[in-house]
Amino acid sequence: MIINSLTVTDYRNIDYIKINPSDGVNIIFGENAQGKTNLLESIWMFTGCKSFRTKKDSELLGFEKEYAKNEIEFFAHGRQQTAQLVIDKKRTAFKNGIELKSPAELIGEFYAVIFSPSHLSLIQDGPVFRRGFLDTALCQLKPNYAKGLARYRHTLEQRNALLKDIQYHSELYDTLDVWDEKLSSYGAAVVYERILYSKQLSEHANIIYSGISDGREELTVDYVNNTGLYIEDPYEIKNFLKEKLRQNRREDIFNKITGIGPQRDDLDIKINGLSARKFGSQGQMRSCALALKLSEANIIKEMTDEEPVILLDDVMSELDIKRQDYILNHISGRQVFITCCDPATVLRMCEGKTFHIEKGCLV
């Protein structure tokens, strides 16, 4: 996956930028608030997924602009291609000049992995960040996962609304059977994919982490859920979830919310058998986040035979020399976009094409 040309027009604070990136390292530098992350985000949007910074497409449009228009020429799946995204209140995507039914149809056409300092939350903060990580990774790899997840969330909202109503209308109790059937079926599809992905993640991340820690430490990643489920067969997962929902009904009605299911699950990340979140040092947590992100890229390559474009937003300054070195060695052979304030930090370690950005324009 190589971007040969990127054109960004009226996107966030960027009026117009056109670049012909190198196949290797590209360094986007400039002072704070000049548009570096905006430019990376504009690349990410070609994955067909939502932005990593906002769920609202309308925020991507430059203030007081009518529409944004971004375009890439890229080499993927053995041929030269183009993709366009037009953004006003919503996104409209085109591939090779043909309008797609939805921007999600770009999923699988263009792959990228984004790594920013906020990814430390993956280790440090609550389960919502780890579920988000799994969901973003899976949505990019499997368009059906995104659809299944949306279906699950919608059904969950409906069941939760029902739980609120039951206290006033006890006759509604019997309708829970229908919702539990649906919810366990959609939920099982989500849990199943997450379990499989977590296994791959654990294998890759352990190898990478071992490299970063000179083989001294072992990293394990396990998918955990609040029901104690450890099976890997989608049909059995469904029956298990359904039974748990049934058992938990009284509590759910009392709390007016569904307490069982993938919306409560988490990744258990351990270093040498100890929780990275509870016992990890700052350095260990950084290495863990790095290992997970590099694993995400490796899994894309393994499953699709395409190298994802790597987007490193401001991470180099956060990492010590050894980790910077590790990251640069392990992304060689991939096209990389690195944002930073001072290009010298990166240029000291590798060759790269540089782009200086100021007030949303190249200088």
Ligand X SMILES: Nc1ncnc2c1ncn2[C@@H]1O[C@H](COP(=O)(O)OP(=O)(O)OP(=O)(O)O)[C@@H](O)[C@H]1O
Q: Which residues bind ligand X (CB under 6 A)?
A: 12-13, 30, 32-38, 59, 61-63, 314, 341
34 contacts which partner out of Mg ion, ligand X, none, CB within 5 to 8 A by kind? Answer: ligand X
Nearer to Mg ion, 115 or 179 (CB): 115
150 contacts which partner out of ligand X, Mg ion, none, CB within 5 to 8 A by kind? Answer: none
Nearer to ligand X, 35 or 280 (CB): 35
Long-range pairs for 254-261: beta carbons < 8 A, 24 or more residues apart: 255/163, 256/160, 256/163, 256/164, 256/167, 257/160, 257/163, 258/156, 258/159, 258/160, 258/163, 258/183, 259/226, 260/226, 260/227, 261/152, 261/156, 261/183, 261/187
Nearer to ligand X, 25 or 276 (CB): 25
Task: Identify the three-state secondary structure at position 112.
Answer: strand
168 contacts which partner out of Mg ion, ligand X, none, CB within 5 to 8 A by kind? Answer: none
204 contacts which partner out of ligand X, Mg ion, none, CB within 5 to 8 A by kind? Answer: none
Q: How far is the CB of 111 from ligand X (least distance, A)?
A: 22
Q: How far is the CB of 272 from ligand X (least distance, A)?
A: 34
CB 19 within 8 A of CB 363: no
**Which of 339, 341, 359 is CA-nearest to residue 35?**
359
What residue has token string 């196949």? 23
Q: How far is the CB of 36 from Mg ion (least distance, A)?
A: 5
Nearer to ligand X, 92 or 210 (CB): 92
CB 221 within 8 A of CB 205: yes
274 contacts which partner out of Mg ion, ligand X, none, CB within 5 to 8 A by kind? Answer: none
12 contacts which partner out of Mg ion, ligand X, none, CB within 5 to 8 A by kind? Answer: ligand X
Nearer to ligand X, 88 or 243 (CB): 88
**Which of 117, 342, 154, 138 is CA-nearest to residue 263?**
154
Sorted by sequence, the CB contacts under 8 Å of residue 219 that are 6+ apart come out as 202, 205, 206, 209, 210, 269, 270, 271, 276, 288, 291
For strands 25-29 and 353-358, give the pairing. Answer: parallel
Nearer to ligand X, 11 or 326 (CB): 11
Cα-flanking dihedrals φ and ψ of residue 80, to 5°? -80, 135
33 contacts which partner out of ligand X, Mg ion, none, CB within 5 to 8 A by kind? Answer: ligand X
35 contacts which partner out of Mg ion, ligand X, none, CB within 5 to 8 A by kind? Answer: ligand X
Q: How far is the CB of 10 from ligand X (least distance, A)?
A: 9
Interface ranges with Mg ion (CB under 5 A): 36-37
Q: How far is the CB of 117 from Mg ion (least distance, A)?
A: 9
32 contacts which partner out of ligand X, Mg ion, none, CB within 5 to 8 A by kind? Answer: ligand X
Nearer to ligand X, 68 or 72 (CB): 68
Tokens of 192: 């199943």
Nearer to ligand X, 169 or 359 (CB): 359
Q: How far is the CB of 339 from Mg ion (least distance, A)?
A: 6
Rounded distance, CA 99 to CA 124, Å? 41
Tokens of 285: 């947590």
Q: How far is the CB of 40 from Mg ion (least distance, A)?
A: 8
Nearer to Mg ion, 38 or 70 (CB): 38
Q: How far is the CB of 31 from ligand X (least distance, A)?
A: 7
Which helix (H) or strand (E) segment holds residue 163: the answer is helix 143-166
**Which of 198, 192, 200 is CA-nearest to residue 261?**
192
Tokens of 94: 């085109």
Q: How far is the CB of 19 from Mg ion (least distance, A)?
A: 17
**Which of 37, 39, 33, 41 is CA-nearest to residue 16?**
39
